[in-house]
Each structure stands twice: as structure tokens, then as C-alpha cells.
Amino acid sequence: MGKRLSKRDDKKAPAPRFAYDGLDRVIHERARLSVLTSLVTHSKGLLFGDLKLLCALTDGNLNRHLQVLEEAKLIAITKGVQNNRPQTFCRITALGRRRYVEYLAVLEQVLLDAGAAVRGELSAKEAT
């Protein structure tokens, strides 16, 4: 995946205050955010079945989200056999961990901005 371009890149203008360009669409989807959070908290990785339970997803749904994350190089998938049973093992990549942390930083800013706005509304109501 290359650099994400926008109209602002051509003009070298600063991003608008509430654009939140860092809310990566690959990560922002609820199921993929759940998968990445599960994998970040399990640094050695997880088996498909465990990931399915942690994220409350069906086999097909989890499989599709894993494909998207693997294509974006955010996770690595290893397939093998243990006790004559197929095993799919998933782990977050270094790139995935870095993009996840960057995403969380932008999400934190969203929360701070929203909190400040709510506090401002409450202060204004209390003043009247």
C-alpha cells in the first residue's frame, strides 16, 4: 500500500482541523479493529478459532477481514497442520502494529476534540 494522497498533498496546505485523515479505512471497520486489537494484545499471535471467539465473528466474515488485513500487510497468516487438523495462525506485523498505534493516536484526538466540545456546551448551558 502506498502513501495515501489527497487534494491537500498537491497544495502542501495543512490538513483541516477536523479532517482526521489518520482514521485509516482498513483499520476503522469494526471487525478489523477488533481483529487488530486482539492481535496487539496477544503478541505471539492467535489461532483462527480463538480470534473468531474473541471478535464474535463467523468463519466467513473473519476470513474476509483477515484477507483485507493481510493484503494491507498489517497481519501475517501461517497455515499448518497439528494433530491431523488444519491450523490457521494469525499475528500482527511490525507495519500493522505501527499503523494501529498511529490510528489510535488520531482516534484519541477525536475523543479529545469531542470531549472539549461537550464540556464547552455544558459550560455554556451552566453560564446561562
Transcribe 11-62 into DSSP letters.
Answer: HTPPPPTT--TTS-HHHHSHHHHHHHHHHHHSTT-EEHHHHHHHHT--HHHH
Single-letter amino acid code for the residue at 10: D
Whether pTM > 0.85 for this model: the answer is no
* pLDDT at residue 15 tops 90: no
Q: Which fold has domain 23-127?
A: Arc Repressor Mutant, subunit A (1.10.10)
* pLDDT at residue 5 in the model: 45
Mean pLDDT, rounded, of the chain: 87
Grid coordinates belonging to 106:
488520531
CA distance 90 to 75: 7
Task: Note the pLDDT tens digit of each residue in 53-106.
Answer: 999 999 999 999 999 999 999 999 999 999 999 999 999 999 999 999 999 999
| Interval 29-38 mean pLDDT | 97
Per-range mean pLDDT, top range of 17-21, 67-71, 119-123: 67-71
Pick from 52, 96, 53, 44: which is nearest to 74 by CA? 96
